[in-house]
Amino acid sequence: MPELPEVETMVHRLQEWVGSRIDDIVIDPRMSLKAAKKYLPGDEYNDTIGQAITGVYRRGKFIVFTTSSGALLAHNAMSGYWDSADRPWTFDYVEGARVSSDNDVRVIFTLERGGELYKLRFHDARMFGSIRYVDPSQLAEKLSELGPDALHTKHLYEPRVADGSYFYDVCQKSKKPIKEILMDQGKLAGVGNIYAAEALFHTEISPFKPANELTRLDANGVFAAAQVVMANALVRKLDYAGLRVYRKKRCDKCDTEISSGDLKGRTTWWCSQCQK
């Protein structure tokens, strides 16, 4: 499941399409009506054709393609990724390498650049992702629903990044488990299940600890750890060997068996010995 570093990496690759024009779009006809609604429903399909891509950015876990008259707002959810037909992509998710398949292509954009035509493809096996065309005011509205970003990266759209003090204030306002706060996109944009678990492991705080029980030092530490694990993922080019608790069997500090359980519908991993 792509989180902030994965999305940033995809956005970096997508830069090559800045300056191209969307000539045509084909949406996978095999999808149910409900699933197809997530990809340029209604007028959005026609609104998108003819638009020039003026920039590609990341905001939280969203990809923002700015265009001549508006923007495409895309979310990869669990299984989404982008590539072009002439250069299929193998993307390493934490679950293992995902080899680009022709079978999970949901949307094909025909792009024109310098008189040549290219096929930009959005793959999404599980159809949980989305692509929406929005006008500038809708874009601003949608993005305003996200909290400040968790990490300043090269391709961040309209950089507005949280800091430890902000995160402490957010924690103070809620009795919810700290992991829920970390993953709440409306409070802090970009952190998902993997890096939330890792950040809490590094700071030795239980994912279930009520957020308002964290001291300022705790909150600063958790926020800093989240930034470090995501920044490391970026520089290591998403080499998941650096993960220490997510889907692990044993704690690499104390050798206790790693616990796993449900926290608000998401499986979470933690060391019951180290994390209090």
Is residue 264 involved in binding DNA (CB under 7 A)? yes
Residue 248 contacts DNA per CB under 7 A: no
Applying CB under 7 A, which of residues 77, 228, 231, 234 lies at the interface with DNA? 77
Which among 150, 149, 262, 146 has a CA at the least distance from the CA of 207? 262
Going from the C-alpha of 35 to that of each of 25, 47, 76, 120, the distances in angstroms are 17, 20, 14, 20
Name which position in 46, 54, 87, 126 contacts DNA (CB under 7 A).
Answer: 126
The nearer residue to DNA, 18 or 78, going by C-beta atoms, is 78
- Over the window 155 to 184, marking each residue x when it contacts DNA by CB under 7 A and - when it does not, the resulting string is -------------------x-x--------
Residue 201 Cβ, how far from DNA at the closest point, in Å?
16
Largest CA distance in the chain: 61
Report how far residue 124's alpha carbon sits from residue 121's, in angstroms, rounded to the nearest whole number.
10
Q: Which stretch binds DNA (CB under 7 A): 40-48, 71-79, 203-211, 236-244?
A: 71-79
Question: In the complex with DNA, which residue's Cβ is closer, 62 or 118?
Answer: 62
Regarding 90 and contact with DNA (CB under 7 A), the answer is no
Please tell me the chain's helix, strand, coil percentages from 3-state DSSP, rounded to the nearest 5.
30, 30, 40
Rounded-to-integer distance, Cα 12 and Cα 106, Å? 21
Q: In the numeric block, which tokens belong to residue 232? A: 């490391």
Ordered strands of the 105-113 beta sheet = 21-27, 105-113, 116-124, 80-84
Site membership for DNA, residue 193 (CB under 7 A)? yes
The minimum distance between CB 125 and DNA, in angstroms, equals 4
Angle between helices 216-235 and 4-14 (to 10 degrees): 40
Q: Minimal distance in Å, beta carbon 247 to DNA?
A: 10
Token pair, residue 260, equals 């796993």
Nearer to DNA, 144 or 235 (CB): 144
Of the candidate spans 55-63, 159-167, 212-220, 237-245, the one that interacts with DNA by CB under 7 A turns out to be 55-63
Taking CB under 7 A as the binding criterion, the range among 8-16, 110-118, 222-230, 257-265 that sits at the site for DNA is 257-265
Shortest reach from residue 114's CB to DNA, in Å: 34
- Shortest distance (Å) from residue 150 CB to DNA: 12
Distances (CA, A) of 182 to 88, 97, 162, 270: 33, 26, 12, 15
Contact between 247 and DNA by CB under 7 A: the answer reads: no
Check if the beta carbon of residue 73 is closer than 8 Å to that of residue 64: yes
Binding stretches for DNA (CB under 7 A): 1, 31-32, 34-35, 60-62, 75, 77-78, 95, 103-104, 125-128, 130, 142, 145, 174, 176, 185, 192-193, 262, 264-267
